Amino acid sequence: MIVVLTGGTGGTKLVQGLQQVVTPDQLTVIVNTGDDLQWWGLHVSPDVDSVLYGLAGLLSADRGWGVEGDSFRCLECMQQLGQPSWFSLGDLDLATHLTRTAILRAGNTLSHATAELAAKFGIRARVLPMSDDRVSTVLDTAKGKLTFQEYFVREHHQVDVTTVHFEGAGQSRAAPGVIESISHAEAVILAPSNPVTSIGPILAVPGIREALRTTAAPVVAVSPIIGGAAVSGPAAALMQMKGWPSTIFGVAQAYDDFLDVLIADQADAGEIERALGDQHSMLSTPGLHRELASASCSKTAQVLCTNTLMRSSDDKRELAAFILKHCFALQSAEA
């Protein structure tokens, strides 16, 4: 069983790649729900939706969120009616939120709602919210306390952040299957999602970080940072705020207590060479195992370089295949 921990945009691309190289019943996706919001009275789970749409082949390739070919007619009317409109829900997308909200209002859990939606979308991989309890990513910023979507969408993440909180995390429980799937996985993959606000909330749910530390499976993270910058979104700024360098070394540091392998982009091979000194000879070869000798990592991790920028369906499949190949090689070597 391959278990992926993911946020929305970047992570979903990797999930789509994995879908091409493993059978659906081998794939479990654990999704951040710290970004969930009540919008127009509906329960919206942006990251869960991206994963569901991605797996169902419905995700808008242009936008990276929402449904391909969606329209925004209801949104325009909401705006005319003086309702908040900075968070865009498409007309097709709305059906997902209306359905989820109806399932939740009937007294069911978010896990249940997610499984029901996944089934309706014909998805056979297992998609689990990190928790059925409400965990909210909240940021202290120069504009005051903002929820993640206020920060990310409304303010276009153009505001300085001093602290990130995961409200409710302390009292939350991992959703059914989350801890078990990590513990019994053959490989655990942290998708190239923001370590602070996409993977961070998942790690804040009691028991999940511990499961990552103790699982026998190799834990592999794909860096969302290439060449010292985030592929998309505010990962670099938020990592700096946390005191981590906005480099692949910072990513390793975020996961330093459980990380076995960091997958970095080819573009970072030079950076790795410089950091690791004379062990650089093989670094330009994809598939190279190399100890990540960053002083800040408490655990000895390895780094592999390959193309991590997923522009096409082929890119996604190749990255997924690369990860699996080396994970299983690692497992065989350990066995």
Return the residue matching tokens 């939606």.
117
Q: For tokens 């994963």, what's the residue?
A: 51
Instruction: Supply the minimum distance, in Å, between the C-beta of residue 147 and its own copies.
Output: 18
Q: Which residues have CB under 8 Å from 300's CB, separation 6+?
A: 291, 292
Cβ distance to its own copies smaller for residue 70 or 268: 70
Q: Strand pairing partners for 127? A: 29
Cα 55 to chain center, whole Å? 14
Q: And the tokens for 287?
A: 């598939």
Which element (helix H / strand E) includes 214?
A: helix 208-214
- Least distance in angstroms from the C-beta of 177 to its own copies: 23
The two structure tokens encoding residue 58: 């419905």
Closest approach, Cβ 321 to its own copies, in A, equals: 32
Name which of 98 and 159 has its Cβ closer to its own copies.
98
Burial class (CB in 10 A: 0-12, 13-18, 19+), 197: buried
Q: How far is the CB of 36 from its own copies (least distance, A)?
A: 17
Residue with Cβ nearer its own copies (85 or 183): 85
CB 212 within 8 A of CB 182: yes
Residue placing its CB nearer to its own copies in the complex, 90 or 192: 90
Query: Which residues partner with 219 through β-bridges?
Result: 188
Cα–Cα distance between 22 and 125 in angstroms, integer?
10
The nearer residue to its own copies, 106 or 295, going by C-beta atoms, is 106
Query: What is the smallest separation between the CB atom of 119 and its own copies, expressed in angstroms?
Result: 9
Residue number with CB closer to its own copies (41 or 277) = 41
Residues engaged in binding its own copies (CB under 8 A): 40-42, 70-71, 73-75, 77-78, 80-83, 91-92, 94-96, 98-99, 101-102, 105, 117, 120
DSSP secondary structure code for residue 247 in this structure: S
The nearer residue to its own copies, 120 or 173, going by C-beta atoms, is 120
Q: Where are the beta strands (DSSP E) in 155-210?
A: 161-167, 187-190
> How far is 249 from 24, CA to CA, in rounded Å?
32
Between CA 303 and CA 259 the distance in angstroms is 10
Closest to its own copies by CB, 120 or 325: 120
Rounded to a whole number of angstroms, the minimum distance from the CB of residue 79 to its own copies is 9
Shortest spacing between CB 181 and its own copies, in angstroms: 26
In whole angstroms, how close is the CB of 42 to its own copies at the nearest point? 8
Q: Is the dihedral of CA 319, 321, 322, 327 positive or negative?
A: positive
